[in-house]
Amino acid sequence: MSTQSLASDSTTTFSLWASPFRPFFLATGLYAIAVIAYWLGAWFDGWPLPESMSPVQWHSHEMLFGMVAAAIAGFLLTAMCNWTGAAPLSGRGLMALFGLWLAGRMAMWTAAWLPGWLVAAIDLSFLLAVAVYAGRVIHAAGNRRNYALVGLIGLLWLANLLFHIGVLDGRPGLIQRAEWGTIMLVVVLMVVIGGRITPAFTRNWLLRTGRQPTAVKSFGVVDSASMISVLVLLAMILAGAPWAWTGAIALLAGAANALRLAGWAGWQVRSDPLMWMLHLGYAWIPLGLLLMGFSPWIDAIGPSAWLHALGTGAMGILILGVMTRVCLGHTGRPLELPAVMVPGYWLVIAAAILRLAGALEWLPYRPTVIAAGLAWIVAFLIFVIAYWPILSQPRADGKPG
């Protein structure tokens, strides 16, 4: 079936399948709840998980290749329609792609009863399909600028492959390298995409509210340093470079991204939750990178601290912030956050702070992690409840999509 026929398929009138962000963002919210709820039970109450993986490995895999991968697919496959002018993937084609994601999740939940190679084959099919489809659409449009994003999806697929090889061969070191490499790949995506949308949205907001959009500053040297340093950091982690050298590059990456964020004048948008959420989410990137950078020399900063600053903090906050905005804009609604989502924002922020505090042993581990998990669950539950009508109903302006 051709890319065009998949994209133009409209055999279903149910609006959930009208554009990729609709099912994938809903799945992101639901899966964020399911994984954390079950992991808390597995970690603290001994609920069963696949014997081939530790609870931490299963939790990490499903957050990265389940929740985060769904969010990336929903955003990328929707945004590239603006980049290329192509029609959004919809109908049966979108159902088929979503089915691959769902099959991967089912395989990971039932991995104890399936051959390892079959679990890997099913789980690996989703990101491969996303990369192939996105690559075909971008190639057909001659949109060379965004080939790099397709390449990053391909690298995510490769990291997932390395994870499964590590599980099949019983190589925890390879699993860890795949996990850490995946986190850095997602950081690269956040630096690239966040660097595009956050200053642009901030300028638009300032202009719309009668303020000076020139308050938002972007400096080529800082932008380049922000992106190049995280790419070098990714390569060093994948290559297993000495941790002291990796830490030095992480400090550089953290400082560059902090300077970059400061130029975007986030304090100017403090009255609009849809805007400050993006700035606050991005702020967790330099925080996580700086924690990584100091970890070789400060014993109190273990991997769990920077991993959760980048994961629960940057990924969790940015994903929720981007989803709540995209869902409004791409369904023809005003960019006004539903009032019920403001507590949801604060809860996911609280989850990140608590999880980091637990990792740094500033607070007792067990109650802190449970509190962080519950705050996370309620935050995404609010999103699912508030945005289900938006995601399942036609656009407010009557346009397709």
Reported confidence tier of residue 20, pLDDT bands at 50, 70, 90: very high
Residue with tokens 């297993």: 240
Q: What would the two tokens of residue 337 be?
A: 């956050």
Direct distance between the N- and C-terminal alpha carbons of the chain, in angstroms, rounded to an integer: 21
**Widest CA span in the chain:** 61
Q: What is the pLDDT of residue 149?
A: 85
Residue of 315, 331, 335 lying closest to 388 (CA atoms): 331
Establish if 350 belongs to a structural domain: no
**Contact status, residue 218 vs residue 199, Cβ threshold 8 Å:** yes
Please count the residues of the chain: 401
Q: Is residue 84 part of a domain?
A: yes
Answer whether residue 159 is part of any domain. Answer: yes
104 located within any domain: yes
pLDDT of residue 363: 95
pLDDT for residue 14: 59
- Classify residue 161: in a domain, yes or no: yes
How far is residue 14's CA from residue 95's CA, in Å, rounded to a whole number? 11
Give, in order, the Cα–Cα distances in Å from 367 to each of 48, 164, 317, 332, 392: 21, 32, 22, 42, 37
Does residue 59 lie within any of the structural domains? Answer: yes
Residue 230 domain-assigned (yes or no):
no
Average of per-residue pLDDT across 320-345: 96
The pTM assigned to this predicted structure is 0.93
Alpha carbon separation from 17 to 13, 29, 129, 388 (Å, rounded): 8, 17, 17, 13
pLDDT, tens digit (0-9, with 9 covering 90-100), for 127-152: 999 999 999 999 888 877 888 888 99
The total number of structural domains that make up the chain? 1
Domain that holds residue 59: 19-170
Per residue in 202-247, pLDDT (tens digit) is 999 999 999 999 999 989 999 999 999 999 999 999 888 999 999 9
Closest CA to 221 of 268, 177, 259: 259
> Is 146 within the bounds of a domain?
yes
- CA 356/CA 369 separation, integer angstroms: 9
The proportion of the chain whose per-residue pLDDT surpasses 90, expressed as a percent, equals 84
AA letter at 203:
R
Show the tokens assigned to 266: 């986030």
